[in-house]
Amino acid sequence: MTGKIDSLSGAPTAVGTGHRPGSAQNATASSQAEAGSAGTPTADVHITDSASLLAGLAQQLSATPAVNEARVAQLRTAIESGSYTVQSGHVAAQLLQFERSLAQIGAG
């Protein structure tokens, strides 16, 4: 069973109905009607603050272009002209920062 979060309202949503109604309230009512006829209990799902935050971040990321074309063109020109130099200290610092961020996520 899979589902998709379409709203961040925090309202309970029925699970396992097999339908995709337009709102969480309709989903709950629909599943209660089905449960009443089938004798199957329903479960309510509540969206946590973390899930709401992640959904917001996902929306922001989907609006951001995957590739910064201006930066790519700038780097391409620098590489082709031979003026591009790798700043190894900066690369190492960024890798360490990334690793620390991953460790914090794993600990949280």
What is the reported pLDDT for 26? 45
What is the reported pLDDT for 28? 47
d(CA 82, CA 88): 17
Spell out the domain ranges in the chain: 13-107
- Name which of 4-8, 24-28, 98-102 the model is least confident about: 24-28
Q: Which two tokens stand for residue 15?
A: 């699970």
pTM (two decimals): 0.36
Banded model confidence at residue 22, pLDDT cuts 50, 70, 90: very low
62-98 tens-digit pLDDT: 988 889 999 999 999 999 999 999 999 999 999 999 9
